[in-house]
Amino acid sequence: MNPFDEIAVEEAVRMKEKKVAKEVVAVSCGPTQCQETLRTALAMGADRGIHVEISGDDYTAVQPFHISKILAKLALEEKADILLLGKQAIDDDCNQTGQMAAALLDWPQATFACKVEESNANLTVTREVDGGLETLKMKTPCVVTTDLRLNEPRYATLPNIMKAKKKPIAKKSAADYGVDLTPRHTVLKVDDPPTRAAGEKLETVEDLVSKLKEAGFYGELTTEDKYKRTLEE
């Protein structure tokens, strides 16, 4: 399971333990292996799973665009109050699905959450933003995407892993949610990134300072910045 999604499952299970949530439904869209991911979520404490099977070429081409449509429809069907997701996948690094599902549902969104508190059908969410933190208050139903500092996911215990084997996983398809999987992007090619050759190991800090000066670097930086500072003054 993607580490952000693990944090989302953990948060949902904690909501159930605090009696804020009645039921936790874990969802995974993709090939057969997703069932393993769902079993992990069930072992962490989710009540049941839904596997939306997408395989073969469909799976290769599927994008957050399609997944968000499936999740939006599914959230309505399941009458979910909170749709919790990881903030991004760790393969395509898109960071889109939660925001797109929120738009399709016309629900409020709290992305990159590091703290979530519930009171009377309102969520107060602290988000990690570029300069620090910000706090939003929103009505449920809503979408929350998780950042790394929200919680520490638990390890599933052996008894819970055994119990998870008996929990139900429903099997669905994208068509069940009326979602057309026609790709909107074509990947033309995938290349290796330019490689960085390892440089040299230096013996002393003095060597480093002279290397930086040799590269014209340190001198250039200070002159320019001194100039800038003079201008500012």
Partner 1 sequence: QSTLVVAEHNNEKLTPSTLNTITAAGKLGDVACLVAGNNCASVAEELSKVNGVTKILLADNEAFNGLLAESITPLVLETQKQFNFTHILANATAFGKNLLPRLAAKLDVAPVSDIIGIADKDTFIRTIYAGNAIQTVKVLDAVKVITVRGTSFEAAGSEGGSASTENAPECSVKNDLTSFEGSEIHKSDRPELTGAKCVISGGRGMKNGENFQMLYDLADKLNAAVGASRAAVDAGFVPNDMQVGQTGKIVAPELYIAVGISGAIQHLAGMKDSKIIVAINKDAEAPIFQVADYGIVADLFKAVPDLNKLL
Interface with partner 1 in residues 79-98 (CB under 8 A): 87-88, 90-98
158 or 190: CB nearest partner 1: 190
Binding-site size for partner 1 (CB under 8 A) equals 78
Cα–Cα distance, 22 to 221 (Å, whole number): 59
26 or 112: CB nearest partner 1: 112
Full strand arrangement of the beta sheet holding 48-53:
25-30, 48-53, 169-173
Least gap, CB of 222 to partner 1 (angstroms): 8
Cα–Cα distance, 119 to 228 (Å, whole number): 51
Least gap, CB of 68 to partner 1 (angstroms): 6
Least gap, CB of 211 to partner 1 (angstroms): 6
93 or 233: CB nearest partner 1: 93
Looking at the DSSP assignment, which residues form a beta bridge with residue 125? 116, 136
Residue 162, interface with partner 1 (CB under 8 A)?
no
Q: Quick check: helix, strand or coil at residue 182?
A: coil
Least gap, CB of 143 to partner 1 (angstroms): 10
Binds partner 1 by CB under 8 A, chosen from 14, 48, 115, 149: 149
17 or 225: CB nearest partner 1: 225
DSSP 131-148: TEEEEEEEESSEEEEE-T
Helix 205-214 and helix 217-232: axis angle, to 10°?
70
Binds partner 1 by CB under 8 A, chosen from 79, 155, 158, 190: 190
- Are 90 and 2 a contacting pair, CB within 8 Å? yes
Q: Which of residues 98-137 bind partner 1 (CB under 8 A)?
A: 98-104, 107-109, 111-112, 114, 124, 127-137
Residue 47, interface with partner 1 (CB under 8 A)?
no
For the chain, the C-alpha Rg in angstroms (whole number) is 23
Degrees, nearest 5: CA angle 97-50-140: 55
Which one of the spans 7-15, 30-38, 58-66, 166-174 is the region binding partner 1 (CB under 8 A)? 58-66
